[in-house]
Amino acid sequence: MSLWDSVAGLEVKVDGYALERRESQTPSGWTRVTTTVVVEGEGATGQGEDVTYGADDHDHVPDGLMLAGTWSLDDISRRLDELELWDGDPENHTGQDHRRWAFESALFDLALRQNELSLGKAVGRQELPVRFVVSTRAAPDQWLEVEPQLEFKLDAETDWDRPLLQRLRGLDRVRVVDLKAYYRGTSVDLAPDPDLYRAIVEELPDVIIEDAWLEGGLRETLAGAEDRLSFDAPVHSLADLDGLPLQPHWLNIKPSRFGTVRRLFEAIEACEERGIHMYGGGQYELGPGRPQIQRLAGVFYPEGPNDVAPSAYNEGEPRAGLPQSPLPPREEPGL
C-alpha cells in the first residue's frame, strides 16, 4: 500500500475554519508574515500554515470556502482542486503550492486528530528523534561559542574565499552549503560562479552542496562532487524530481513546496525506492508549520541534516538554553 493510500480513506468532519495571521520582525530586518488555517470539527482542531513569502499575498487568503461536511481525506483534497485558493499573481506557482499546503495540512491534521492517530501510526512507521541543523547566512562562530555541538546549513556568499572555507572546514560543523542558484528576484539570489563552486567542492569535501546551477559549464566545475549534490527549490513534485538533469543523491524536502499530501508522499516514496537521501527544510514558519515539518522529518528522514531547528533559533542572537538536537518524538495525535 502506498503512503497516500494508507491515509486517503481517513474520515474528516469539518464544521468550518478560521484564519490567523502572524507577523515577526526577523534579525535580518524584514517582516515575516504567515497565515494559519484553523479547521474545526467535532470538537477537534487541525492547523496548517501558509508560508508564502510575499506579505501582500496574505491579504487574499480565502475565508469563505465551502468545506463543511463529512469527507474522506481523498475527497476533501479533490474538493480543494475545484476551489479558488489563490487571488495573487497567476505566475507565482510556488505561492499557490504554499497556499494549497496550508489547507491540505490543516485538514490532514484534523483527520489524524479525529481518528486519534499520529502521523507515524497512520502510515505504519515509527517516529524517531530528529537530528537538526541551524540555518544561517552568517558565520557560525557565535553559535558555537554557546553550543559547540551544533551543526549548520549555510547559505553561500559571493565574498567567500578559500581561507574562509578552510576555516569552516576546520570547524567541522557545516553539513550543507546552499548555493541558491534557482532563486530569482529575491534577497537571497546567488549568481552561479564557477570559482566559488570549485572552491566549495575542494575546500569542503564532505559537505552536501544544495541547488547548484548545472548549465553553462558549471556541471564540469562540480566534477567529483556528484554524490554530494542536492536539490530543493526546483522540486515541487515527482515530475520535477524526474526532470532534474541528474538523479541527485540528496533531496531537501520542504513539504509546503509540494502543495498536496499526495504529491509529498509520492516524492518521498520515490526517494526511498531510488536510494535518494532526504532531509527536511523549513520556510521560516511562525506557527504550527514548524512542529509539523519536524514530525514529518521524524517519521521519514530523522537522521538527515534537517533544516528544521526550533523557531527559537530564528528569534534573536545566539544564546544558551535553546532545544538541542536531536528533538524527541511526539506522542500526541495529529500532523
Q: Do domains 3-123 and 134-314 have the same CATH topology?
A: no
Map out the domains of the chain as residue ranges.
3-123, 134-314
Exposure string over 117-142, b if 16+ CB within 10 A, otherwise e: bbbbbbbeeebbebbbbbbbeeebee
Closest by alpha carbon to 321, among 308, 311, 312?
312
pLDDT per residue as tens digits for the range 203-257: 999 999 999 998 888 889 999 999 999 999 999 999 999 999 899 999 999 999 9
Rounded CA separation 11/14 (Å): 10
pLDDT band at residue 187, thresholds of 50, 70 and 90?
low
Kindly tell me the burial class for residue 188, based on how many C-beta atoms sit within 10 Å of its own C-beta (0-12, 13-18, 19 or more): exposed
**CATH 3.90.1150.10 holds for 134-314:** no
pLDDT band at residue 150, thresholds of 50, 70 and 90?
very high
The CATH architecture annotation of domain 3-123 reads 2-Layer Sandwich (3.30)
Rounded CA separation 190/154 (Å): 13
Rounded CA separation 303/58 (Å): 34
pLDDT per residue as tens digits for the range 29-56: 678 999 999 999 999 999 999 999 999 9
